[in-house]
Each structure stands twice: as C-alpha cells, then as structure tokens.
C-alpha cells in the first residue's frame, strides 16, 4: 500500500514536470492573467501617453499633468479590473 502511494506521487510529479498536467495554482494564475488582460488597461496607457506627448511640448507644464492623469487612469483601470476578476473568483 505504501509503495502504491509513493508510485502515485511520483507519477503525479512526473506528469506535472512533463507538462501533461498543470497544477491548480498554475491554472488559477493563467485564469487571473487572462481576466486582467481582458480589461485592456495596457491599451489605455499606450494610447494616452503618446497623445499627451504629441499634444504638449516637453517644457509645457500641462504635459506632466496629462501624463499624471494617464498614469492615474491606468492605475484606476488595474484596480477595477482586479476587483472584477476577484469578484469572478479568477484572482485571489
């Protein structure tokens, strides 16, 4: 009986190591990452920051304000996305 248990443990470790079976924590991390990616918070930054840079010169104080608003917008998006994904039990 002890040998059978040891054999099953070794088989489980071999399956995980070979990639045939993903452990539960890897599946939950993948699900969380997919949920957060669905929010497109990175897209908010990639569109907002270049707009500020194109609209204002480097020396214009409004540029810093615009970039700060972009950063705040991305942080707000990420916080809302994480709360949503936690609500859907995709993230811990």
Mind listing the pLDDT tens digit for each residue in 41-85? 888 778 899 999 999 999 999 999 999 999 999 999 999 999 999
**Cα separations (Å) of 22 from 26, 27, 49, 84?**
6, 7, 38, 25
Asked if 50 and 40 count as a contact pair (C-beta separation under 8 A), the reply is no
pTM reported for the whole predicted model: 0.62
Q: Are 14 and 70 in contact (CB under 8 A)?
A: no
Q: Please, which pLDDT band fits residue 91 given cuts at 50, 70 and 90?
A: confident
Q: pLDDT grade, residue 1 (50/70/90)? A: low
């Amino acid at each position: 009986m002890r040998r059978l248990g040891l054999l099953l443990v070794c088989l489980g470790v071999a399956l995980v190591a070979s990639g045939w079976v993903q452990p539960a924590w890897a599946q939950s991390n993948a699900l969380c990452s997919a949920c957060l990616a669905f929010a497109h918070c990175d897209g908010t930054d990639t569109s907002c920051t270049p707009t500020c840079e194109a609209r204002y010169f480097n020396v214009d104080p409004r540029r810093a304000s615009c970039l700060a608003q972009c950063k705040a917008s991305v942080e707000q998006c990420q916080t809302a996305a994480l709360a949503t994904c936690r609500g859907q039990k995709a993230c811990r």
